[in-house]
Structure 1
Protein backbone atom coordinates (compact mmCIF):
# COMPACT_ATOMS: atom_id res chain seq x y z
CA UNK A 1 0.00 0.00 0.00
CA UNK A 2 1.34 3.40 -0.93
CA UNK A 3 0.07 6.95 -1.27
CA UNK A 4 1.10 10.15 -2.96
CA UNK A 5 0.90 13.17 -0.67
CA UNK A 6 1.48 16.88 -1.15
CA UNK A 7 3.31 19.01 1.40
CA UNK A 8 5.34 22.16 0.94
CA UNK A 9 4.28 22.42 -2.71
CA UNK A 10 5.96 19.10 -3.54
CA UNK A 11 4.61 15.59 -4.03
CA UNK A 12 6.01 12.50 -2.32
CA UNK A 13 5.34 8.77 -2.72
CA UNK A 14 5.08 7.30 0.79
CA UNK A 15 4.67 3.86 2.32
CA UNK A 16 4.27 2.77 5.94
CA UNK A 17 7.59 2.87 7.79
CA UNK A 18 9.24 5.23 5.27
CA UNK A 19 11.43 8.07 6.58
CA UNK A 20 11.76 11.15 4.40
CA UNK A 21 12.77 14.80 4.48
CA UNK A 22 10.07 17.36 3.66
CA UNK A 23 10.16 21.16 3.75
CA UNK A 24 10.18 22.64 7.24
CA UNK A 25 6.95 22.09 9.18
CA UNK A 26 5.89 23.90 12.34
CA UNK A 27 5.98 20.88 14.64
CA UNK A 28 8.12 19.76 17.55
CA UNK A 29 10.25 16.62 17.56
CA UNK A 30 8.12 13.65 18.61
CA UNK A 31 4.81 15.23 17.54
CA UNK A 32 2.31 13.29 15.44
CA UNK A 33 1.15 14.85 12.16
CA UNK A 34 -1.89 14.08 10.07
CA UNK A 35 -1.49 14.95 6.38
CA UNK A 36 -4.87 15.24 4.65
CA UNK A 37 -3.66 16.29 1.21
CA UNK A 38 -3.53 12.77 -0.28
CA UNK A 39 -3.56 12.78 -4.08
CA UNK A 40 -3.58 9.01 -4.73
CA UNK A 41 -3.88 5.78 -2.77
CA UNK A 42 -3.02 2.31 -4.09
CA UNK A 43 -4.10 -0.65 -1.97
CA UNK A 44 -3.59 -4.16 -3.36
CA UNK A 45 -3.85 -2.96 -6.96
CA UNK A 46 -7.00 -0.92 -6.31
CA UNK A 47 -6.23 2.73 -7.03
CA UNK A 48 -8.15 5.78 -5.81
CA UNK A 49 -7.33 9.07 -7.47
CA UNK A 50 -8.42 12.34 -5.85
CA UNK A 51 -9.97 15.37 -7.49
CA UNK A 52 -7.71 17.01 -6.29
CA UNK A 53 -7.57 15.07 -2.98
CA UNK A 54 -8.94 11.68 -1.94
CA UNK A 55 -11.80 12.32 0.49
CA UNK A 56 -11.43 10.78 3.94
CA UNK A 57 -7.83 9.72 3.30
CA UNK A 58 -4.97 10.74 5.55
CA UNK A 59 -1.41 9.81 6.34
CA UNK A 60 -0.29 9.71 9.98
CA UNK A 61 3.36 10.71 10.50
CA UNK A 62 5.77 11.21 13.39
CA UNK A 63 8.28 14.06 13.43
CA UNK A 64 11.80 12.69 13.97
CA UNK A 65 13.64 16.02 13.91
CA UNK A 66 14.70 19.07 11.97
CA UNK A 67 17.85 19.52 9.88
CA UNK A 68 19.43 21.74 7.28
CA UNK A 69 20.47 20.64 3.82
CA UNK A 70 23.81 20.96 2.09
CA UNK A 71 24.89 24.50 1.25
CA UNK A 72 24.55 25.55 -2.36
CA UNK A 73 26.30 28.51 -3.94
CA UNK A 74 24.30 30.92 -6.10
CA UNK A 75 26.56 32.97 -8.38
CA UNK A 76 25.33 35.84 -10.55
CA UNK A 77 27.55 37.52 -13.11
CA UNK A 78 26.71 40.24 -15.58
CA UNK A 79 28.97 39.93 -18.59
CA UNK A 80 30.67 43.13 -19.80
CA UNK A 81 29.62 44.96 -16.61
CA UNK A 82 32.27 43.58 -14.22
CA UNK A 83 29.47 42.81 -11.76
CA UNK A 84 29.43 39.65 -9.64
CA UNK A 85 27.39 38.49 -6.67
CA UNK A 86 27.86 35.30 -4.68
CA UNK A 87 25.17 34.07 -2.32
CA UNK A 88 24.69 30.85 -0.35
CA UNK A 89 21.56 28.95 0.64
CA UNK A 90 20.76 26.06 3.02
CA UNK A 91 17.27 24.58 2.92
CA UNK A 92 15.55 23.69 6.21
CA UNK A 93 13.98 20.23 6.40
CA UNK A 94 11.78 18.22 8.74
CA UNK A 95 12.43 14.49 8.91
CA UNK A 96 9.21 12.49 9.25
CA UNK A 97 8.37 8.79 9.54
CA UNK A 98 5.12 7.48 8.04
CA UNK A 99 3.19 5.47 10.64
CA UNK A 100 -0.05 4.62 8.84
CA UNK A 101 -2.07 5.31 5.72
CA UNK A 102 -5.87 5.30 5.97
CA UNK A 103 -8.32 5.52 3.09
Structure 2
Protein backbone atom coordinates (compact mmCIF):
# COMPACT_ATOMS: atom_id res chain seq x y z
CA UNK A 1 0.00 0.00 0.00
CA UNK A 2 1.25 3.48 -0.82
CA UNK A 3 0.12 7.00 -0.03
CA UNK A 4 0.64 10.49 -1.37
CA UNK A 5 1.28 12.83 1.56
CA UNK A 6 1.70 16.58 1.82
CA UNK A 7 4.29 18.08 4.16
CA UNK A 8 6.36 21.23 3.96
CA UNK A 9 4.46 22.47 0.90
CA UNK A 10 5.53 19.44 -1.17
CA UNK A 11 3.94 16.12 -2.06
CA UNK A 12 5.63 12.73 -1.61
CA UNK A 13 4.62 9.22 -2.68
CA UNK A 14 5.53 6.92 0.22
CA UNK A 15 5.17 3.28 1.21
CA UNK A 16 5.97 1.41 4.42
CA UNK A 17 9.71 0.87 4.93
CA UNK A 18 10.88 3.80 2.77
CA UNK A 19 13.22 6.59 3.85
CA UNK A 20 12.50 10.13 2.67
CA UNK A 21 13.97 13.59 3.27
CA UNK A 22 11.36 16.29 3.84
CA UNK A 23 11.43 19.94 4.86
CA UNK A 24 12.39 20.42 8.50
CA UNK A 25 9.85 19.20 11.07
CA UNK A 26 10.13 20.22 14.73
CA UNK A 27 10.61 16.75 16.25
CA UNK A 28 13.32 14.91 18.17
CA UNK A 29 15.40 12.13 16.64
CA UNK A 30 13.72 8.80 17.39
CA UNK A 31 10.30 10.37 17.90
CA UNK A 32 7.34 8.88 16.04
CA UNK A 33 5.16 11.37 14.16
CA UNK A 34 1.77 11.02 12.50
CA UNK A 35 1.13 12.70 9.15
CA UNK A 36 -2.60 13.16 8.58
CA UNK A 37 -2.47 15.14 5.34
CA UNK A 38 -2.95 12.17 3.00
CA UNK A 39 -4.00 13.18 -0.51
CA UNK A 40 -4.34 9.68 -2.01
CA UNK A 41 -4.15 6.01 -1.01
CA UNK A 42 -3.43 3.14 -3.34
CA UNK A 43 -2.73 -0.57 -3.43
CA UNK A 44 -2.32 -2.27 -6.78
CA UNK A 45 -5.08 -1.14 -9.15
CA UNK A 46 -7.20 0.28 -6.31
CA UNK A 47 -6.80 4.05 -5.80
CA UNK A 48 -8.65 6.30 -3.37
CA UNK A 49 -8.30 10.04 -4.02
CA UNK A 50 -9.29 12.58 -1.38
CA UNK A 51 -11.20 15.82 -1.84
CA UNK A 52 -8.68 17.25 -0.90
CA UNK A 53 -7.75 14.77 1.89
CA UNK A 54 -8.65 11.11 2.41
CA UNK A 55 -10.83 10.82 5.52
CA UNK A 56 -9.29 8.80 8.36
CA UNK A 57 -6.04 8.04 6.53
CA UNK A 58 -2.74 8.53 8.35
CA UNK A 59 0.93 7.80 7.80
CA UNK A 60 3.20 7.11 10.77
CA UNK A 61 6.92 7.76 10.53
CA UNK A 62 9.98 7.77 12.76
CA UNK A 63 12.47 10.65 12.69
CA UNK A 64 15.90 9.26 11.78
CA UNK A 65 17.93 12.47 11.52
CA UNK A 66 17.86 16.25 11.39
CA UNK A 67 20.40 17.73 9.01
CA UNK A 68 21.30 20.18 6.29
CA UNK A 69 21.61 19.64 2.55
CA UNK A 70 24.75 20.47 0.57
CA UNK A 71 25.47 24.13 -0.02
CA UNK A 72 23.94 25.76 -3.08
CA UNK A 73 26.14 28.58 -4.34
CA UNK A 74 24.54 31.68 -5.83
CA UNK A 75 26.62 34.01 -7.99
CA UNK A 76 25.23 37.20 -9.50
CA UNK A 77 27.17 39.41 -11.86
CA UNK A 78 26.49 42.44 -14.05
CA UNK A 79 28.97 42.66 -16.86
CA UNK A 80 30.96 45.87 -17.24
CA UNK A 81 29.40 47.33 -14.05
CA UNK A 82 31.89 46.04 -11.46
CA UNK A 83 29.11 44.18 -9.63
CA UNK A 84 29.58 40.68 -8.27
CA UNK A 85 27.65 39.06 -5.46
CA UNK A 86 28.36 35.65 -3.93
CA UNK A 87 25.91 33.94 -1.64
CA UNK A 88 25.33 30.44 -0.29
CA UNK A 89 22.37 28.56 1.13
CA UNK A 90 21.94 25.28 3.02
CA UNK A 91 18.39 24.00 3.45
CA UNK A 92 17.43 22.13 6.63
CA UNK A 93 15.81 18.70 6.30
CA UNK A 94 14.32 15.91 8.39
CA UNK A 95 14.90 12.29 7.38
CA UNK A 96 11.91 10.02 8.01
CA UNK A 97 11.46 6.25 8.03
CA UNK A 98 7.88 5.43 7.02
CA UNK A 99 6.61 2.73 9.37
CA UNK A 100 2.93 2.35 8.43
CA UNK A 101 0.32 3.59 5.97
CA UNK A 102 -3.14 3.34 7.51
CA UNK A 103 -6.37 4.10 5.76
| Fold match by TM threshold 0.5 | yes
- Structure 1: which 5+ residue stretches go unaligned? none
- RMSD of Structure 2 on Structure 1 (CA): 1.0
Q: CA deviation at 1:84?
A: 1.1
Q: Work out the number of aligned pairs and report it.
A: 103
Partners of 2:85 and 2:75 in 1: how far apart? 6
TM-score after normalising by structure 1: 0.95
Distance 2:11 2:79 in 1: 37
Which residue does the alignment assign to 1:23? 23
After superposing on structure 2, the runs of 4+ consecutive aligned residues of structure 1 that deviate more than 2 Å are 78-81
Q: CA deviation at 1:44?
A: 3.4
Question: How far apart, CA to CA, are the structure 2 residues paired with 1:79 and 1:102?
Answer: 56
In the other structure, the counterpart of 2:45 is 45
Residue equivalent to 1:98:
98
Alignment TM-score, normalising by the size of structure 2 = 0.95
Q: Name structure 2 gaps, 5 residues minimum.
A: none
